Amino acid sequence: MIKFIQKHRNIYLRIFDIIIIAVSYYLAEIIIGDSLILTPEMNRKVLISIVLAVIIYGGFLQIFKTYKNITRYENGNDYLIYVLACLISCTVMVFFNVLNIIQTVDERTNLIASLIIVTAIIGYRVFLRLILNDWHEVKQKNNNNNKKNVLIIGAGEATKILLSTIKNSMKDVYHVVGLIDDNTNKVNYAISGKRILGTRYDIPRLCKENNVDLIFFSISNISNEDRKNILEICQETGCRVRILPGTKELIKNKPIMQSFRNVEIEDLLGREPIKLDNKNIKKLINNKVVLVTGGGGSIGSELCRQIIKFNPSKLVIVDIYENNLYDIEQELKFNYPNNEIDAIVASVRDKKRLNEIFEEFKPYLVFHAAAHKHVPLMETSPLEAIKNNVFGTYNVVNCADEYKVKRFILISTDKAVNPTNIMGATKRLCELIIQAKNKVSETQYAAVRFGNVLGSNGSVVPLFKKQIANGGPVTVTHKDITRFFMTIPEAVSLVLQAMSYAEGGEIFVLDMGEPVKIYDMAVKLIKLSGLEPGVDIQIKITGLRPGEKLYEEILMAEEGLTETKHDKIHVAKPSDINMTKIKEKLTVLRKLVDTNDNENKDEIKKVIHEVVPTYKGKN
């Protein structure tokens, strides 16, 4: 029966509307005349009015395309159209009566009839919508028992959009059991028919009681600390968690159901957004030539993305790996078509090629991010670390001096502090090189030292995600191993800020927050994927790798730490090393490199220890 009505709904709607118009005029006249019995003359006027009203009301309802609406999906805007159509129709009916064109009922009767008509037309359509929606819901429940039970966190505009999307097009996929909001005044109230069941502290209980499969996190205006707290509660439920973007992004970007993303470890850091002094940064970069080595890498490419926002006259990107270089070049040219960007394939080991580049572009600022950074690989091939990190840096440092670069920033690492591996030792020597060079050059040299960045090439988080996607096991080298973590955009924004503070010779140390246990990170990633550690995904302890230590440090014992204008940036006390000592060290390393004997690791480590006394590599 319902299917038959749906098929011929336009005919039935028109018939119902005609009946409503006819009854409304009789009711209006009875109300005005205060009598159930109408005189023959009044009957004649009412009948004429009904015929005319059917034509006029029906015509305007047709003009406004109300009969093309799908009743089940009508909303407030559609009902306003009905009001407008009836208002215009009433005005036309009054116009006919005032001009005495046709003998119809008077203005008051027309007005009351119009009020009855618009109320009845909207009222029965709302009633039909409710019936059709209930029927559709029962039908879906009978036909599909595989719907996911969903709990939505948030009771704002984004949730309203989400509920509308699920209701209109995804009822057969998701069943919303209810909403969560920390505003206790909202509890037990409803949005689009879905009740607010409780606050964040009720999430575990509600998930268990309602067999929740999926949690949608739908709050855009929230502090990072609160986001972290709520997500940590969610991860204990065993449900998969998806995060929605803010309302603005939903409106201007892709549809809401395509905008979901998985929870990332970044969401669990709980740090507030970093505030920058963009005026000073812009003053240094705007309309200047900026060169970035290693510009195709994780840090280098993000440096390029943030630098170009400050409108350099030219951005020169140097990298030996052409694929990454091509990717960042195309990305920036697409997003900033009016900026000059030069992508150059070159190695920092090639002093002659670097001279050509510096001669051609004469950069004002240089960010040196090119380096070998993988600890175990550099333990296997230590001479490559020396060639690339030490002598590559020395080449770029000398070019910066020769071509009068204003400021040179070295990207360093916490692994340079009391290094236990070759990579860290080479980066420590790079720090010493720029501090020594700063004493004899007009160029201002500085280094920025920070820990691991989330999502960088070769970092632990992408590896864990891949292992989880493959069904495990997730490999952790030691249950107690900890690392400092920061997002790539966070780290790079602080590099730019430190660059604006540099006067020469500083090693800037970034505040990386609290150290994070890698094992705990693996557990969280597994849980946030809706899986159970040790049940669905195993965690395998593999043992510390060569050169790896349990705890990273952010400054050396002999270094003092002073504050800067930014609470996330500190300055380590400069070393007293000079270029004479550096050249002596480099001469020793050059002889080592010339042997090209990667197999004699004991001898290499011995020499590295002579050059970098804080190196604690095991022989």
Six-digit token string for 67? 């009969």
For residues 600 and 536, which has the higher predicted lDDT (pLDDT)? 536
| Residue 72: pLDDT over 80 | no
The pLDDT confidence band at residue 557, using thresholds 50, 70 and 90, is very low
| Residues 257 and 309 placed together within one structural domain of the fold | no
Q: What is the mean pLDDT of the chain?
A: 83
Taking the C-alpha atoms of residue 526 and residue 467, their distance in angstroms, rounded to an integer, is 10
| pLDDT tens column, 107-165 | 888 889 889 988 888 888 888 777 776 666 665 555 545 688 999 998 888 788 888 88
> Where do runs of H (alpha helix) occur along 308-373?
322-335, 351-361
Average pLDDT for residues 86-106, to the nearest whole number?
82
Six-digit token string for 528? 């946030």
Residue 245 lies in a domain: yes
Domain count for the chain:
3
The pLDDT confidence band at residue 601, using thresholds 50, 70 and 90, is confident
Average pLDDT for residues 385-408, to the nearest whole number?
95
Residue 617 lies in a domain: no
The alpha-carbon radius of gyration of the chain (Å, integer) is 36
Exposed (0-12), middle (13-18) or buried (19+): which is 20, by Cβ within 10 Å? buried
| Residues 84 and 173 placed together within one structural domain of the fold | no
**Dihedral of CA 148/154/159/160: which sign?**
positive
Q: Percent of the chain having pLDDT more than 90?
A: 26
Residue 546 lies in a domain: no
Q: Percent of the chain having pLDDT more than 70?
A: 86
Lowest mean pLDDT, pick from 94-103, 183-192, 414-423: 94-103
| Residues 37 and 185 placed together within one structural domain of the fold | no
Six-digit token string for 560? 């003092």
Nearest of 337, 425, 339 to residue 616 by alpha carbon: 425
Nearest of 341, 340, 350 to residue 370 by alpha carbon: 350
What's CA 38's distance to the chain center, in Å? Answer: 70
pLDDT of residue 251: 47
Residue 594 lies in a domain: yes
Nearest of 275, 334, 281 to residue 311 by alpha carbon: 281
Give the CATH number of the domain where residue 168 resides: 3.40.50.720
Average pLDDT for residues 538-543, to the nearest whole number?
88
Taking the C-alpha atoms of residue 554 and residue 299, their distance in angstroms, rounded to an integer, is 18
Residue 186 lies in a domain: yes
Taking the C-alpha atoms of residue 174 and residue 150, their distance in angstroms, rounded to an integer, is 6
Q: What is the domain extent for residue 323?
A: 278-515+551-611
For residues 23 and 133, which has the higher predicted lDDT (pLDDT)? 23
The pLDDT confidence band at residue 247, using thresholds 50, 70 and 90, is very low
The pLDDT confidence band at residue 272, using thresholds 50, 70 and 90, is low
| Residue 399: pLDDT over 90 | yes
| Residues 461 and 382 placed together within one structural domain of the fold | yes
Residue 272: half-sphere exposure toward Cβ, Cα within 13 Å? 5
Average pLDDT for residues 253-274, to the nearest whole number?
63
Residue 445 lies in a domain: yes
| pLDDT tens column, 345-367 | 999 999 999 999 999 999 999 99
Listed residues 218, 235, 263: the one ending a domain: 263
Phi, psi dihedrals of residue 365, rounded to the nearest 5°: -125, 145
Residue 125 lies in a domain: yes
The pLDDT confidence band at residue 266, using thresholds 50, 70 and 90, is low
Lowest mean pLDDT, pick from 180-189, 236-245, 248-257: 248-257
Residue 589 lies in a domain: yes
The pLDDT confidence band at residue 556, using thresholds 50, 70 and 90, is very low
pLDDT of residue 316: 96
Taking the C-alpha atoms of residue 535 and residue 123, their distance in angstroms, rounded to an integer, is 55
| Residue 61: pLDDT over 80 | yes
- Beta bridge partner(s), residue 289: 314
C-alpha distance from residue 240 to each of 213, 231, 461, 475, 570 (Å)? 7, 11, 18, 22, 39
Helix 460-469 / helix 518-528 crossing angle, nearest 10 deg: 40
Residue with tokens 């305007």: 60
Cβ atoms < 10 Å from Cβ of 333? 14
| pLDDT tens column, 444-459 | 999 998 776 665 555 6
pLDDT of residue 295: 94
pLDDT of residue 515: 75
| Residues 101 and 191 placed together within one structural domain of the fold | no
Nearest of 514, 252, 547 to residue 375 by alpha carbon: 547
DSSP 280-331: HHHHHHTTSEEEEETTTSHHHHHHHHHHGGG--SEEEEEES-HHHHHHHHHH
- Our answer to whether residue 517 is catalytic in this structure is no
Average pLDDT for residues 19-25, to the nearest whole number?
88
pLDDT of residue 137: 60
Lowest mean pLDDT, pick from 23-32, 165-174, 491-500: 165-174
| pLDDT tens column, 432-445 | 999 999 999 999 99
Taking the C-alpha atoms of residue 461 and residue 351, their distance in angstroms, rounded to an integer, is 35
For residues 427 and 162, which has the higher predicted lDDT (pLDDT)? 427
> Where do runs of H (alpha helix) occur along 439-487?
460-469
Taking the C-alpha atoms of residue 379 and residue 21, their distance in angstroms, rounded to an integer, is 88
* Residue burial 72-95, b: 16+ Cβ < 10 Å; e: rest: bebeeebbeebeebbebbbebbbe
| pLDDT tens column, 219-231 | 877 777 888 888 8
| Residues 238 and 352 placed together within one structural domain of the fold | no
Active-site option among 167, 373, 387, 415: 415
| Residues 396 and 491 placed together within one structural domain of the fold | yes
Residue type, 113: A
Phi, psi dihedrals of residue 338, rounded to the nearest 5°: -95, -5
Six-digit token string for 113? 């009839």
| Residues 584 and 492 placed together within one structural domain of the fold | yes
Taking the C-alpha atoms of residue 453 and residue 169, their distance in angstroms, rounded to an integer, is 39
| Residues 132 and 167 placed together within one structural domain of the fold | no
Average pLDDT for residues 26-33, to the nearest whole number?
84
Coil, strand or helix at 390 = helix
pLDDT of residue 331: 93
pLDDT of residue 254: 54
| Residues 169 and 125 placed together within one structural domain of the fold | no
**Who's near 238: CB < 8 A, 6+ residues apart?**
207, 527, 530, 532
Pairing of strands 569-572, 507-510: antiparallel
**Who's near 6: CB < 8 A, 6+ residues apart?**
132
Nearest of 256, 241, 336, 328 to residue 293 by alpha carbon: 328
| pLDDT tens column, 363-384 | 999 999 999 988 889 988 889 9
Q: pTM of this prediction?
A: 0.64
| Residues 199 and 155 placed together within one structural domain of the fold | yes
pLDDT of residue 7: 55
Nearest of 274, 305, 278, 275 to residue 290 by alpha carbon: 305
| Residues 403 and 441 placed together within one structural domain of the fold | yes
pLDDT of residue 618: 62
Listed residues 100, 124, 141: the one ending a domain: 141
pLDDT of residue 193: 81
| pLDDT tens column, 10-19 | 787 888 888 9
Listed residues 240, 263, 286: the one ending a domain: 263
Taking the C-alpha atoms of residue 387 and residue 410, their distance in angstroms, rounded to an integer, is 16
